[in-house]
Amino acid sequence: MSEAPLPRVETTPIEGLLVVHLDLREDPRGWFKENWQREKMVAAGLPDFGPVQHNLSYNTQRGVARGFHAEPWDKFLTIANGRVFAAWVDMREGATFGATYSMEMDTSVGVLVPRGVANSYQTLEDQSTYSYLVNQHWRPNAAYPGVALGDPALGIDWPIPLDECVLSEKDLSYGPLTADMAIPRQRALILGASGQVGCALAAEFPDAHAVTRAELDITDPAALAAWDWRAYDVVLNAAAYTGVDAAETPEGRTAAWAVNATAPAALAALAREHGFTLVHYSTDYVFDGVNPPVDGYPEDAPLSPLGAYGQSKAAGDLAVAAAPHHYVLRTSWVIGDGANFVATMQRLAAEGVSPTVVDDQVGRLTFTDELARATRHLLESRAPWGLYNVTNAGAVRSWRDVAADVFAASGRDASDVVATTTQEYFASREAVAPRPLVSTLDLTKIRATGFEPENAEAALRRHLSSDQR
């Protein structure tokens, strides 16, 4: 048998409700089809919705009717044998609330039904079997809304009059669709919303639920267990312990591992359980900065962290990779709103200070709005899951180079920034974490998805001019 082609996918008036035309191979013995083939379905345009349970509904006679049911999961519906007339109504809040779609289904077609869209059908033949894959485990006590099959406002033209159909008592008890039945749509959750990255994500995703550590402490197992994760389809984890030097102390090491490693592992487990996409943010400190490739560290470079901070972040990267749907954005030299290197140099320039800045640590700046833009790009383009390097583009520069640019933009002479080495700068300080001397990350993979990072020097000029307004 030759390999089956990709299924043909059609959209419908209901957002996310997709009709899939399957390749049905028939001969005198019967027929064969690939009812669900993840790789081909995703390539054809279906979401990688992660089914965990397969259910079958066998109907003994023509005229059995079931629904409308809006269970709290996504479904992929097909017919194992027979024919049905199926109908759907969008119960999600928003402009398409109450929109309907209906069609006849046989063994050659499937339908992907997103959560919040109520599903129903009536059998057109005896011994029709309705098959559905779902991405949450069925629970006997699960509550979900339903709508009367005969609600006149829906305008469903049932082929068999409903008064001639066999319905359950539960389905007969449902009433018409009303505005107060609108199901809240899943949205994004931003963790660590008070930090530089979290603030940028909140600006990029204004409809997201942004929470601080005071609202949800991801190092607290009880708090994680009590949170309603079903309300979210994406979790953006911007929470991090970033005290590089403090992480070298006993207390700091414990805190760094709790936030940067143990908590991401817990989030990955929750992502497996609830089906959300987990987005996590990493760092160049997972590398030692010794003899990297000429274009910078690629995503698959061996991890080699020098200090406790980098070690905890490396462990978090590995933990997040266990989530079925995940993106890890590895970045460097982060600049946003709040305390950071650029803000410090601006303050020193204004105060008349001539600082000493290392010139043997090199890399590229990453502005938080660029990191947020890359996050949106990966999610909306449905790029392959995994790890992506994300920094601003352009020449590789030293911290002293960046400081000189800030001074020049602030009306000071660039030569007022004095160069030194990392060894000299930290010679008299205690509990200092080792730093990678080369932090350059290879951007080939993120570019291959269609994302072009903004030049770091141009982004710095824009950042500085916006601060001066």
Q: What is the pLDDT of residue 467?
A: 63
pLDDT at 469 over 50: no
Claim to verify: residue 261 and residue 407 sit in the same structural domain: yes
Longest distance between any two alpha carbons in the chain, whole Å = 89
Claim to verify: residue 121 and residue 262 sit in the same structural domain: no
* Residue 309 falls in the annotated catalytic set: no
Claim to verify: residue 122 and residue 212 sit in the same structural domain: no
Q: What is the secondary structure of 64-87 as a DSSP string?
A: BEEEEE--SS-EEEEEEES-EEEE
Residue 435 forms part of a structural domain: yes
Residue 234 forms part of a structural domain: yes
Residue 181: name the closest of 221, 136, 143, 223 by CA: 143
Residue 209 forms part of a structural domain: yes
pLDDT tens profile 128-182: 999 999 988 877 777 789 999 999 999 999 999 999 999 999 999 999 999 999 9
- If you ran DSSP here, which 8-state letter would residue 17 be given? -
Contact 331, 373 (CB under 8 A): no
**What does each C-alpha distance from 54 to 49, 110, 133, 402 come to in angstroms?**
13, 14, 5, 56
Domain boundary among 133, 163, 181: 181
Domain boundary among 155, 181, 207: 181
pTM: 0.85
* Residue 69 falls in the annotated catalytic set: yes
pLDDT tens profile 318-342: 999 999 999 999 999 999 998 999 9
CATH number at residue 200: 3.40.50.720
Claim to verify: residue 73 and residue 108 sit in the same structural domain: yes
**pLDDT band (50, 70, 90) for residue 316:** very high
Residue 24 forms part of a structural domain: yes
Claim to verify: residue 237 and residue 262 sit in the same structural domain: yes
pLDDT tens profile 247-285: 999 999 999 999 999 999 999 999 998 889 999 999 999
Surface-to-core class of residue 61, CB atoms within 10 Å of its CB (0-12 exposed, 13-18 middle, 19+ buried): exposed
Residue 2 forms part of a structural domain: no
Residue 229 forms part of a structural domain: yes
Domain holding 292, by residue range, is 187-468
Claim to verify: residue 268 and residue 417 sit in the same structural domain: yes
Helix (H, G, I), strand (E, B) or coil at 277: strand
Residue 1 forms part of a structural domain: no
Residues 135, 143: Cα–Cα separation, whole Å:
16
- The whole-chain average pLDDT of the chain stands at 94
Catalytic residue selected from 21, 54, 58, 69: 69
**Cβ density class 21-46: b for 16+ within 10 Å, e for less:** ebbeeeeeeeeebeebbeebbeebbb
CATH number at residue 135: 2.60.120.10
Claim to verify: residue 148 and residue 229 sit in the same structural domain: no
What total of structural domains would you count in the chain? 2
Claim to verify: residue 171 and residue 272 sit in the same structural domain: no
Domain boundary among 156, 181, 206: 181
Cβ partners under 8 Å of residue 330, min gap 6: 281, 282, 283, 284, 286, 299, 317, 387, 388, 389, 390, 441
Estimate to the nearest angstrom the gap between the alpha carbon of 93 and the chain centroid.
21
Claim to verify: residue 210 and residue 243 sit in the same structural domain: yes
Claim to verify: residue 130 and residue 197 sit in the same structural domain: no
Claim to verify: residue 238 and residue 335 sit in the same structural domain: yes
Claim to verify: residue 138 and residue 212 sit in the same structural domain: no
Contact 33, 20 (CB under 8 A): no
Cβ partners under 8 Å of residue 302, min gap 6: none
Catalytic residue selected from 121, 130, 132, 241: 132
- If you ran DSSP here, which 8-state letter would residue 140 be given? T
**What does each C-alpha distance from 399 to 9, 220, 288, 360 come to in angstroms?**
51, 37, 17, 8
Contact 166, 65 (CB under 8 A): yes
